[in-house]
Structure 1
Amino acid sequence: MFESPKSLLEVCIDFICNNVLDLCDVHLGDTEEYSSNSLDTTTCSKASNDGSSSSATRLSFRHPDAFLPAEISEQLLANLCEKKTLSDLTITLFNSKSTRLRHVRLKDASTLSAKGLKVLKQHKVVDLMVNGLKITVNDLISCLGDWSLQNLRSLSVAKGSFIDCSRYCVVVTLSKLRSLHTLNVSGTEFNKHGLEIVVEDLPLLESLDISCTKVDDITPLKKCKNRLKTLNMYNLKINESADLISVLLELNELRNLDISDEKDMHALNCMLGPEKPKITDFLKAVHCMPYLTSLDLSGKGDIDPKDLKEFIKAHPYLRFLGLVSTDACYDDSLTNPTDEYYRPGLVVTGTATESQILEGLRRYTCRPLYLEKCLFNLFRLTHNFLESRIDVIKLVLPAMREHPQEVRVQVPCTACLYNLTKGEFSIMIHPSILKQVVELTMIAMECYPTNYRLQMNTLLILCSDRILQEITFDKYRCARLVLNSLLTFNEPSMNRMSVAICSILAAKISTVETSMLGAQPQYMSKLLAMVRTKVESKSVDITMKFTLSALWNLTDESATTCEVFLDEGGMELFLKVLESFQGQFSVETKVLGSLNNIAEVVHLRPRLMQPRFISMLSTLLTSVHIDVSYFAAGIAAHLLSDGPRAWAAISSLPSRDELLEQLAHTITHWQTPQGEMVAYRSFHPFFPLLRCSDAYPVQLWAVWAIHHVCTKNRVPFLIFKTWPSVKDEYEFRAQSIAFPKEANVSRYKFYNIHPKSRLIGLYPKYALPRMIPLAIPR
């Protein structure tokens, strides 16, 4: 349950990232015209050759002497990138006068152009990671200053491009980086020709990542066999004519070697193409690479366990072995501590044990296929967890965040998260962790609205009291996504969870937001159709109750939703519900709660004035269940408040006068309930009733309701909406209400807080001052 809070530095950087345009001055370029309203984080800028932005739109700190040291500058830049607010405009903030950049790490630079990246010319950069570039690598290098070109030690341009406008792969500019020690060109068009260039022209190169590139022959690596210490060639398609194994065996200085493969991708090629070099030939050469500390063979299907044991035995420095998607990870020498070949200090990734799976999630965040296999096997283990595993959740979340568009990752992630957060497990999970779970769950729902399994998993996660009641997140967005899922699928368990979630969330969002949801006829039509199905089958189950609760909360103080409800036939349906389920007070209470919300809307009341309904109200007023009687009385009070003229148009039994008399008799004979029957967003609906001087039972119901809420709801303040003005203030005085003795209103005590006084008890014979909140004693 315990989670260390963010440091003050992290909090400040987050605040700057979220409010960067509000905290900085915007300097418009000499040749550009922008209105203050048009500037946003996607605005582009123009930069001069030296990287300055004196003639372009740029940002600057408001304090002229503000300066951020390198560590803070670099963290701010990385966070802007992570929060997707980095653009050609926001990057201009990092000029050399107010910031220092030496280690630049941009995991996703797809929003930047060469114009924005020219700001790097002003800095002495030694470590540069700019992944996902939309411009070419050559353009990126042209954005570096002379000092950086001469001293850059590490460069990562993964998922970038070397293809220029002429569609040729150009890597010659890499030759300028003579001090480069580490180069990552994974996921680019880098090829054998480029490999030859960097091997020849980069004399200090000792770490190379050519994973998922077009290199089909690694023979050029022989020229740097005496200095190459790290080689990653994951998912590399080597030409069958190239002698891969013989080249690898010459690289004796290697400490880290990754020759893993995505076996599933090449299954067809393996069946139809020439026979690939067997990895077992490499493992038999036990004396090669004597200093090897890390070896990844994941995806290799021809590993002989005996050869692997001998290889491990011959390499005492080996500390990591990757075996995901192989059968070798199940060998006793890697899973059984009592086995004679078992090495305790060797970290293994695979799917045989929990430790292998968790290490796989930790290391392969960027490899969807491996994540899928690890998550699938993790899901099987989560069924047996007996306690909350926050460590596991923290490994699942990055995988989910990294691959929002990979359904093969999202489905097992959501399945694991459900098992890891369900029931009592959630109690021990810190709210900040659960908030991340919910946010990523909603992203998954948005990305795959028609995927049945994923939507089922997400609903299972969200259908949690701890999450819905205690965690802070965008509840309107969540309610909208859940309602969309309800429209898409017609599966009983999904329907049940959807309406359960909506019934809670609808009470926690603003009336503006409930109106936005309720204004969509398709949502209302679906909810009413679910109720109609239950009426036709004469069955009351938890799904129906949740659906009625959702309708009750959606219509609360939302005239728009109430009108859509009536337009979609809700009134006729609810009359059938009341007739079909007489005496079932839980159903009657929810139905009357919704109709009471509609009765609060003045222009909709005529649509409730039906003799059939008035007769039902009269009957329900006498219910032995006070909840039913209370809401029936509330509807009657609102309808009666419209005066005799509104009742003259209908011939109903009972008449208006009879219903008024019945209402007064009912209220004065209620017994005080033990608990709170209802929660109100505000007391605004009662104000018009309190002014109804010609019908004291209407006022009496409003007074009884306010008194009930004030005495049963133990919150410190129950705020009245601001009363309009002195001329039109909504005061209520006992003498103007003129309650008869039998109303016994003296027992209703209200409490008022005045800004300059202590808590003062006020009885109805005193006026309630304007704009003063009601409160209750502690």
Structure 2
Amino acid sequence: MNPSIEATAWEENCPDSLLDICTRYVLQHPQTYCCPKKFNNNMNEVAVDEAARVTPEINEAPIIFTLLPDLHLPTEICEKLFATLHEEGLDIEDCTAGIFADVTSCRLRRVNVRCSSITDHGLEYLLRHNLRDLDIHNCEALTPRTLESLNKYSKHLVNLNIGNTVQILPDYIYPKSDELDEDDVDSLDEEDRARTVFHERGYILNAPHLQKLCIRDLFVTRGSNYLSLLLKPLPRLTHLDLSSLHHTEGLGDLEVLKELTQLTSLVLHNFTQGITSEAVKTICQIKTLRHLDLSHQEEKMGKFLDPNETLAFIVLSLPHLTSLDISGTNLAGGSAQTSPTTPNAASKTLSSANSGASGLSDGLDGEDLSFKCDIPGLASRVNNPLEFLGLYKTSHDACYRVQIPAKQISGDANEKQILVAGRQYLDRPVVLENVLNDLFHIFRYENCLNIKAALDIILLAMDRHPGEKVIQISGSASLYYVVKVELKENINVKMKKKILATLLNGMFAHKNDAIMMRNGCLTLCQFTMPQDVIFDYERLVRILLYIVSEHKQPDTAFVQRAGIYLLNTLACQVDGQQKLLLGNLGTMEKMLCLIREREVNGNCDDVMETAWSCMWNVTDETPINCKRFLDGCGMQLFLQCKAQFPEKHDLLRNMMGLLGNVAEVPELRSTLMTPEFVSEFTHLLRSNMNGIEVSYNAAGVLAHMASDGAEAWTIESPSREEVLQDMENVIEGWDLTTKRNINYRSFEPILRLVRVQHTPQCQHWAVWALANLTKVDGKYCGLVEQEGGLSLLEELINSNVPQLSYPRVLELAAMVRDNVTQWKERDGVEPADESLEFDG
């Protein structure tokens, strides 16, 4: 069976090891173990200036990184660094490979650079270690120069996965120069001359100890002895995968395979020209085979003459065979009842042309076992079932038959077969697409019994093929159902991290595909924000910002709405560090741009309202983001939106909430001190839209502006006295029992206003807010005491400052004190034992 079946994405819910933590740290902080060096065109080291360390120009001399002087890394640490790079979805570039160029300071045995942007130069740094294992699948930047480096450094190579990076191999072979006449030699161009060298030296790949070789999608145009030059110099091969091999001159009888006397696993999947009966006879002479794969992606290409006899001949000829894949072929034949074929008949049919197959039926007791087997060609294995049999997408739906002599079967008849197929075909993107679609059908229309195994396959498939859009779309669609059903109860914290990382990798790889973004957003909505995503917060914010700013077309409207909803949720329930990050990544600018586009088109939709809400959250106690709002002409946009959409209550509430955050920043308040802005705030102060929310936020803005004193009120109209009188009248009209649609994480800005003794209207708004919040929601009682509010109010109540002209402030302050006291008595909370959890 495929060695991929041993892989798993599942992790137990245990703490990361110290090695894992340290490895991730040093990868995130490369200065801890390496330093940059710059080279001229002759690759001589030159000085690196500080600017080049950060942003080297494209045309400048290349910069690579090397280990710090006197630092030596053992093999285990070096290989752990590579493994973690893959786990974190990071690219392996030449500058990364250069760190390991000095073989005296570090050692590598196994290297996996699949799906990376590494070039010939970078890979040569790694090959200098005389590796044992190398995987370069899907490395598009590699060229034939890499083949020369491989041949130079492969004397110890045991496992080589070239995969689909077949551009490093020649696509045709020319005969030796001495076999061509002089005119033919003179007519050869430079590329053709280079192809003659393989004949002259007698090999394509020089790796005398190689045991496992995988080459996929190789297309050979010329050279009848191509396979001979490739395989004969590799006598120790035990595992050979030549999936999707095509030779325009034909593959013939594959006679060269007989040279591989130690071969135990042979994969000839999806031979586009088919496998001839002569090739089958050759294969059947490799008596060491334990695993044979003759499967096809498309059923029409997997047609064998006399399929029942051919299959019987194969299993009778290979005495050690335990694993056989005939998916996508007709080798399973019809049912045993309609196509009776005995083992003796099978051996006679094909052995007549192959004397080496004589006597294959020796040892059989002559019993007709066909009635016990629904696959005619496998009747001889009834009493000795195969460990694995591949029947995925075979002719006549063979996987649906009952009597199949195999312990594990890949197929699409049921969930168990589909899961086996998923593990078996992880390295076959086209087949894997079908498997994932089958899994999706189970999730959507049936009841998946083995969620853990299904999730494992989905994650492994998505991780292994980040660039395959169909796999990412199918996988993310199934992830939605898994997460929706299982996330809260049966998926541990580490697996949540793994699911999110895999999903984000797929979203970044296909960020312009609306379906992928839709699937991703729907799945993300099933996570608990921000607890489940905080460890990958930055990447999540980046992809959501891309979604809301780039997916603007009508057919992607849902994607944009989902993206901004998620972004707002992330901004709402995080602390200052994450809010700073949101601002640094351009959230304010993108929200303003998005709002401006809608304002110009006269479209006030939920996206516009959520964009204002998002900025409200991002500016909460984050002055730099408030400044970004002002610098982006946010106040002008506020006036325009208010004028164009005066009846949009939620919009006004969100805008005034944001302006309340701006007004809390002392150095920014002067920007708001204009007749136009203050007139708008005063007008909204009297508003009864959305309950008291709009009026409440307007009063808050004015209270903060008034708290700077009379000298800071630099406008004549509206006058300060007029505004303060309006505030007093409006605040007294609010109902203290009003439920609030607001979430305070800190009362510090409100408590600052409690200290403003020169303007009691500021205190009035502040203590009213505290009295209301502590009355309608007990969680705020704890927050008042936690932040020193109770002692501050006690000072206010007991102070000798004359308050006779404004006694309401003292009444409200006493009410807050009573609310907190009653809460403590009701819930039995001791001051020293308080342990509160707030929303976000």
* TM > 0.5: yes
Give the unaligned 5+ runs of structure 2.
1-10, 172-189, 337-373, 789-795, 822-831, 836-840
1:713 Cα deviation after fit: 7.2
1:504 Cα deviation after fit: 1.0
Q: 2:266 — aligned with what?
A: 231
Residues 173-199 of structure 1 deviation map (CA, whole Å, 9 limit, x = unaligned): 456433333322334456753321244
Residues 241-286 of structure 1 deviation map (CA, whole Å, 9 limit, x = unaligned): 884333334334321112222218xx6x89xxxx875755522425
Opposite residue 374 of structure 1, the aligned amino acid is V
1:700 Cα deviation after fit: 3.8
1:572 Cα deviation after fit: 4.2
Q: 2:47 — aligned with what?
A: 33
Q: 2:7 — aligned with what?
A: none
1:706 Cα deviation after fit: 7.2
Opposite residue 634 of structure 1, the aligned amino acid is G
Cα distance in 2 for residues equivalent to 1:184 and 1:77: 21
Match status 1:510 vs 2:520: no
1:254 aligns with one of 289, 302, 312: 289
Evaluate the alpha carbon distance shift between residue 736 and residue 709 of structure 1 in structure 2; reply closer, same or farther with a 3 A threshold: farther
1:397 aligns with one of 456, 459, 470: 459
1:560 aligns with one of 608, 625, 628: 628
Match status 1:636 vs 2:702: yes
Residues 706-740 of structure 1 deviation map (CA, whole Å, 9 limit, x = unaligned): 788897175699889xxxxxxxxxxx999898655
Asked whether the 8 Å contact 1:717–1:776 carries over to 2, the reply is: no
Q: 1:263 — aligned with what?
A: 298
Opposite residue 191 of structure 2, the aligned amino acid is S
Match status 1:185 vs 2:215: yes
Asked whether the 8 Å contact 1:43–1:87 carries over to 2, the reply is: no
Opposite residue 488 of structure 1, the aligned amino acid is Q
Q: 2:660 — aligned with what?
A: 596
Cα distance in 1 for residues equivalent to 2:225 and 2:96: 37
Equivalent pairs, count: 700
Cα distance in 2 for residues equivalent to 1:647 and 1:115: 65
Cα distance in 2 for residues equivalent to 1:449 and 1:548: 24
1:606 Cα deviation after fit: 2.6
Match status 1:138 vs 2:204: no
Q: 1:523 — aligned with what?
A: 594
Asked whether the 8 Å contact 2:269–2:294 carries over to 1, the reply is: yes
Evaluate the alpha carbon distance shift between residue 411 and residue 152 of structure 1 in structure 2; reply closer, same or farther with a 3 A threshold: closer
Evaluate the alpha carbon distance shift between residue 511 and residue 179 of structure 1 in structure 2; reply closer, same or farther with a 3 A threshold: closer
Cα distance in 2 for residues equivalent to 1:256 and 1:657: 91
Residues 366-402 of structure 1 deviation map (CA, whole Å, 9 limit, x = unaligned): 2221111111111111134478934322221222223
Match status 1:357 vs 2:392: no
Q: 1:408 — aligned with what?
A: 470
Opposite residue 200 of structure 1, the aligned amino acid is K
Cα distance in 1 for residues equivalent to 2:746 and 2:217: 58
1:634 Cα deviation after fit: 0.8
Q: 1:614 — aligned with what?
A: 682
1:153 aligns with one of 152, 158, 162: 158
Evaluate the alpha carbon distance shift between residue 715 and residue 229 of structure 1 in structure 2; reply closer, same or farther with a 3 A threshold: farther
1:282 aligns with one of 304, 307, 310: 310
1:424 Cα deviation after fit: 6.1
Q: 1:299 — aligned with what?
A: 328
1:62 Cα deviation after fit: 5.8
Cα distance in 1 for residues equivalent to 2:224 and 2:676: 79
Asked whether the 8 Å contact 2:268–2:293 carries over to 1, the reply is: yes
Opposite residue 291 of structure 1, the aligned amino acid is H
TM-score under structure 1 length normalisation:
0.75
TM alignment of 1:327-726, pairs within 5 A = 327=395, 331-333=399-401, 339=402, 341-343=403-405, 346-383=407-444, 384-385=446-447, 389-422=451-484, 425-464=487-526, 466-472=528-534, 473=536, 474=538, 475-484=540-549, 487-489=552-554, 493-494=558-559, 496-507=561-572, 508=574, 509-511=578-580, 513-514=582-583, 516-520=586-590, 521-525=592-596, 532-533=603-604, 546=610, 549-550=613-614, 552-554=616-618, 556=620, 557=622, 558-561=626-629, 564=632, 566=634, 569-574=637-642, 579=647, 589-597=653-661, 599=663, 601-602=668-669, 603-606=671-674, 609=677, 611=679, 614-620=682-688, 625=691, 627-638=693-704, 640=706, 656-664=720-728, 667=731, 678-679=742-743, 694-702=758-766, 712=780, 714=782
Cα distance in 1 for residues equivalent to 2:641 and 2:833: 39
Cα distance in 2 for residues equivalent to 1:63 and 1:608: 67
TM-score under structure 2 length normalisation:
0.70
Residue aligned with 1:346, SS:
strand
Cα distance in 1 for residues equivalent to 2:449 and 2:600: 41
Q: Please give the root-mean-square deviation of Cα atoms over the aligned residues, in Å.
A: 4.7
Q: 1:3 — aligned with what?
A: 13
Cα distance in 2 for residues equivalent to 1:75 and 1:511: 33
Report the structure, 1 or 2, having the larger helix content: 2
Evaluate the alpha carbon distance shift between residue 392 and residue 736 of structure 1 in structure 2; reply closer, same or farther with a 3 A threshold: farther
Cα distance in 1 for residues equivalent to 2:556 and 2:35: 54
1:18 aligns with one of 28, 53, 58: 28
Residue aligned with 1:298, SS:
coil
Evaluate the alpha carbon distance shift between residue 162 and residue 175 of structure 1 in structure 2; reply closer, same or farther with a 3 A threshold: closer
Give the unaligned 5+ runs of structure 1.
45-55, 334-338, 535-541, 721-731, 752-760, 762-774
Q: 1:744 — aligned with what?
A: 809
Asked whether the 8 Å contact 1:141–1:173 carries over to 2, the reply is: no
Opposite residue 633 of structure 1, the aligned amino acid is A
Evaluate the alpha carbon distance shift between residue 453 and residue 102 of structure 1 in structure 2; reply closer, same or farther with a 3 A threshold: closer
Residues 154-186 of structure 1 deviation map (CA, whole Å, 9 limit, x = unaligned): 333322412398365565445643333332233
Opposite residue 484 of structure 2, the aligned amino acid is K
Match status 1:310 vs 2:370: no
1:617 Cα deviation after fit: 1.5
1:742 Cα deviation after fit: 0.6
Asked whether the 8 Å contact 1:183–1:209 carries over to 2, the reply is: yes
1:166 aligns with one of 191, 195, 219: 191
Cα distance in 2 for residues equivalent to 1:192 and 1:15: 53
Evaluate the alpha carbon distance shift between residue 452 and residue 522 of structure 1 in structure 2; reply closer, same or farther with a 3 A threshold: same
1:415 Cα deviation after fit: 0.9
Cα distance in 1 for residues equivalent to 2:514 and 2:468: 15
Cα distance in 2 for residues equivalent to 1:193 and 1:41: 50
Asked whether the 8 Å contact 2:653–2:690 carries over to 1, the reply is: no
Evaluate the alpha carbon distance shift between residue 648 and residue 244 of structure 1 in structure 2; reply closer, same or farther with a 3 A threshold: same
Cα distance in 1 for residues equivalent to 2:514 and 2:675: 40
1:418 Cα deviation after fit: 0.8
Asked whether the 8 Å contact 1:42–1:88 carries over to 2, the reply is: no
Match status 1:213 vs 2:281: no
Evaluate the alpha carbon distance shift between residue 388 and residue 523 of structure 1 in structure 2; reply closer, same or farther with a 3 A threshold: farther
Evaluate the alpha carbon distance shift between residue 240 and residue 425 of structure 1 in structure 2; reply closer, same or farther with a 3 A threshold: closer
Evaluate the alpha carbon distance shift between residue 482 and residue 739 of structure 1 in structure 2; reply closer, same or farther with a 3 A threshold: farther
1:404 Cα deviation after fit: 2.8
Opposite residue 310 of structure 2, the aligned amino acid is F
Residues 13-37 of structure 1 deviation map (CA, whole Å, 9 limit, x = unaligned): 3333333442246677764332355
Asked whether the 8 Å contact 2:64–2:94 carries over to 1, the reply is: no
Asked whether the 8 Å contact 1:524–1:564 carries over to 2, the reply is: no
Asked whether the 8 Å contact 1:379–1:416 carries over to 2, the reply is: yes
Evaluate the alpha carbon distance shift between residue 106 and residue 559 of structure 1 in structure 2; reply closer, same or farther with a 3 A threshold: closer
Asked whether the 8 Å contact 2:738–2:772 carries over to 1, the reply is: no
Opposite residue 216 of structure 2, the aligned amino acid is S
